[in-house]
Structure 1
């Protein structure tokens, strides 16, 4: 007859999956509230925790996490680009964008890196502006950082016939054109207002307009009523950029939904359930 201790050794209890978000700093992240809501809603035994990781410790932490029971992680500033070099497998879209926001730790210890920001961006628009038809006219993107690259990739994949882009540092916008092709047209920062003429989709992909950041100073006179205008910033939910666009008769979509939707693919991979993005989730994340 075997003892209880022998039984426990032979049949260890099932592991409770752990995921988290890596950043430096990380206290501001809303991802724990997002995933915590889903875990509670679906009655899933699992944990999602913030993990503050200084850049010099990133490699060590990443390779230790699978041994600690982590099944994956989200990645935020400043680690989105650095994790690509540390991953064993990188998806095509993460490689194209040049950054990853979602990691999956396989049972054999290998690290898979993906980028779901573009998926989250498009899913947010389709949920909140269901009449949006991307291929009817040009899109205009303000900014050329990592988030902008994800937006550009997703808009081109969605079928926009032309993608106009501007950035304070023109070289970064030109780099996007060289990597994403001839549909991308670069405008000087001083001509950002003119870039909006005839555009049917307009995106602020900079941090300007966020609480604590300078305002986005782009003339919106050329915006036509009915244009879809969205902002990746979600603090505040309605930025001055969105408020002015709305006053001009544009359809607006705030940036919170992008955060919510980009988290869904990772949650499904880590915890085995495809979660819903709805008003209850928005309320939970907004606190």
Structure 2
């Protein structure tokens, strides 16, 4: 995909394959509009091919107006080989979702998914808890950022995946000293008669870090008998914005966080790095309306 830009106007992209579904252009251009910036942001198809990725980055780096790009699947890990430097968080996660062109023309890789995931939890995490536990579904790319984020916040994690060995390897890599556990995906699909102890002073999260529930994918099979009282359900899927997972939790009276929370939070971290101005978050309600339109 080739895009023509205004002369000397700062611009950035989101790259991936496929890329037409990405909501990043809507989010970034909304903020550009609100701030009255002379800037542009587009989605660019970069095929799932090492040569295509290398060619894209080589061409972009030659343009002083190019500020960088957000990175989605399937390039979050393969793009690391093309970075001149990595932010410590990206190095820890082992995935890059934001590339920023430095003043000297070099490329630095960041991972804003960690901060984006934690953003709606900040008030909660500012409290003191006797114990913190997260039950996480999925062991793919999104889970890497989520496991890293929650390990830093002292959560014991239960990671459920189709391949428990893959889940164990991810935990061993990202938090080898943590007291974590793995389970097959089917574990949470089946009802349990487990009686939870007193959860006063505890913090419990239930996170869907998988694509299950996304439009065109099977729903996530999750039985609410596995959920301690007072748990918070967190979904990263954005299409649809209310998945069966979130709907069931909300109807059962649990607090829920939808996929737009992480999406907007991670985008805000990248936006400031690209365009040198904080995202105008006072317009989040209006932004959500546009995302839902």
Normalising by the residue count of structure 1, what TM-score does the alignment of the two structures yield? 0.88
Q: 2:286 aligns with which of 240, 258, 280?
A: 280
- Identify the match of residue 33 of structure 1 among 15, 23, 26: 26
The alpha-carbon distance between structure 1 residues 26 and 192, as it changes in their structure 2 partners (threshold 3 A), is same
Question: Structure 1 residues 213-222 or 71-80, which shifts more?
Answer: 213-222
Which of residues 138, 154, 168 is equivalent to 2:162?
168
1:196–1:202 CA contact under 8 A, matched in 2: no
Q: Cα deviations across residues 78-134 of structure 1 (Å, max 9, x unaligned)?
A: 11111111111012221222211000011322110010111101113347x788767
Match of 2:272 in 1: 268
- Higher-Rg member (1/2): 1
Matches within 5 A, 1:183-198: 183-192=179-188
Indicate the residue corresponding to 2:153 in structure 1.
158
For the structure 1 residues 133 and 248, does the alpha-carbon distance in structure 2 shift closer, same or farther, using more than 3 Å as the test? farther
- Summarize the alignment of residues 4-43 of structure 1 with structure 2, pairs less than 5 Å apart: 15-43=8-36
> Per the alignment, do residues 122 and 224 of structure 1 end up closer, same or farther by CA in structure 2, a change over 3 Å counting?
same
What is the CA–CA distance in structure 1 between the aligned matches of 2:127 and 2:142, rounded to whole Å? 21
- Consecutive unaligned residues of structure 2, counting only runs of 5 or more, are 1-6, 198-202
Query: Shift in Å at residue 16 of structure 1?
Result: 1.9
1:217 to partner: Cα distance: 1.1
Quick one: structure 1 residues 130 and 178, their matched pair in 2 at CA, closer, same or farther if it must change by over 3 Å?
closer
User: Do the aligned residues in 2 keep the contact of 1:264 with 1:274 (CA within 8 Å)?
Assistant: yes
Any conservation in 1 of the 2:160–2:185 contact (CA below 8 Å)? yes
Q: Structure 2 CA distance, aligned partners of 1:209 and 1:262?
A: 21
The root-mean-square deviation of aligned C-alpha atoms, in Å, is: 2.4
CA apart distance, 1:267: 0.9
Question: Which of 105, 113, 129 does residue 109 from structure 1 map onto?
Answer: 105
After superposition, where does 1:220-239 map in structure 2 within 5 Å?
A: 220-239=224-243
Specify whether residues 196 and 100 from structure 1 end up closer, same or farther in structure 2 by C-alpha distance, changes over 3 A only. farther
Could you tell me how far apart the structure 1 residues matched to 2:195 and 2:172 are?
A: 22
The size of the alignment, in residue pairs, is 273
**3-state SS, counterpart of residue 243 of structure 1:** helix
Matched, 1:207 2:211: yes
SS of alignment partner, residue 81 of structure 2: helix
For the Cα contact (< 8 Å) 1:203–1:231, is it kept in 2?
Answer: yes
Over 3 Å counting, the alpha-carbon distance change for 1:174 and 1:83 in structure 2 is same
2:125 and 2:153 in contact (8 A); partners too: no
User: Alignment partner for residue 99 of structure 1, among 92, 95, 106?
Assistant: 95
Deviation per residue, 1:9-65 (Å, 9 max, x gap): xxxxx9321101111111111000000000000011101011111132001111210
Query: Once the 2 structures are TM-superposed, how far is the Cα of residue 224 of structure 1 from its aligned partner?
Result: 3.0
Return closer, same or farther for 1:284/1:131 CA change in 2, 3 Å cut-off: farther
Residue 4 of structure 1: aligned partner: none
Q: Distance in 1 between matches of 2:287 and 2:130?
A: 30
Q: Structure 2: how far apart are the matches of 1:254 and 1:196?
A: 28
Q: Which runs of 5+ in 1 are unaligned?
A: 1-13
User: Aligned in 2, Cα 1:244/1:200: closer, same or farther, shift over 3 Å?
Assistant: same
**TM-score normalised by structure 2 residue count:** 0.86
